Chain A
């Protein structure tokens, strides 16, 4: 089955700096890669996703890049703000949909003033 590795496990940045979180996956059949943000006591919330026919996708301060050859994808957050502080999870699915996601272990992002 699919295995998703995520790093770093914790990341501390100053407000206004950029943050990068990286994930690798093992199943070459995976073709859908979402990123979820989880705040304390809440369920995960989708922030951006990318499909395997696209190399990069951007939504305001958030971008995701995908390298299918190397089987890795990354989340980039620019101009970080305190409200970006949360746990971020990457995930992968071989179905092209969110029907069966394999999640990474999470990155706790702390944005300091």
Chain B
């Protein structure tokens, strides 16, 4: 498809479990972003990749959260020892990158529910 693809669209897990969320960016987009959106709130920045490297991971809430983008395309957000407070929609976005990066193209998100 032409847009950002995120899988799974919904994930229900139990407290303490490990979760992986996947993002397929738009082909050719060098920049990739993860945001988290809680109910009734705006997206909250987590991490930004330029190519394979994390250019800014200052939004990751703690060391239970980790993200990779090994080949500069697909990215995986990994959450260890999930907690109920991790429940949210995890949004991935991509952009063309470059000095004056403008529009972010968001996927539809992965809704994570931690019971």
Contacts and interface: CB of A to CB of B under 8 A. Distances in A.
Interface of A: 4, 6, 34, 41-46, 49, 89, 91, 96-106
Contacts of B99: 97
A96 B99 CA distance: 9
Interface string B87-115: 00001010100011111101111000000
A100 B56 contact: yes
B4 interface: yes
Given A99-B31, A100-B56, A104-B42, A41 B103 contact: no
A42 to B, nearest CB: 6
Point out which of A4, A43, A49 has the most chain B C-beta atoms below 10 A from its C-beta.
Answer: A43
Q: Dominant SS at the B interface?
A: loop
A104 B42 CA distance: 6
B14 interface: no
A46 B104 contact: yes
B45 A41 contact: no
B42 A89 contact: yes
A6 B104 CA distance: 20
Contact of B103 (A98, A100, A102, A103): A98
B55 interface: yes
A44 B107 CA distance: 8
Contacts of A6: 42
Nearest to B9: A41
Given A99-B55, A100-B48, A44 B102 contact: no
Interface in B1-20: 4
Contacts of B62: none
A99 B43 contact: no
26 contacts: A34-B103, A41-B108, A43-B91, A43-B108, A45-B106, A46-B103, A46-B104, A89-B42, A96-B100, A97-B99, A98-B101, A98-B103, A99-B31, A99-B33, A99-B55, A100-B45, A100-B48, A100-B56, A100-B58, A101-B43, A101-B45, A104-B42, A105-B41, A105-B42, A106-B40, A106-B41
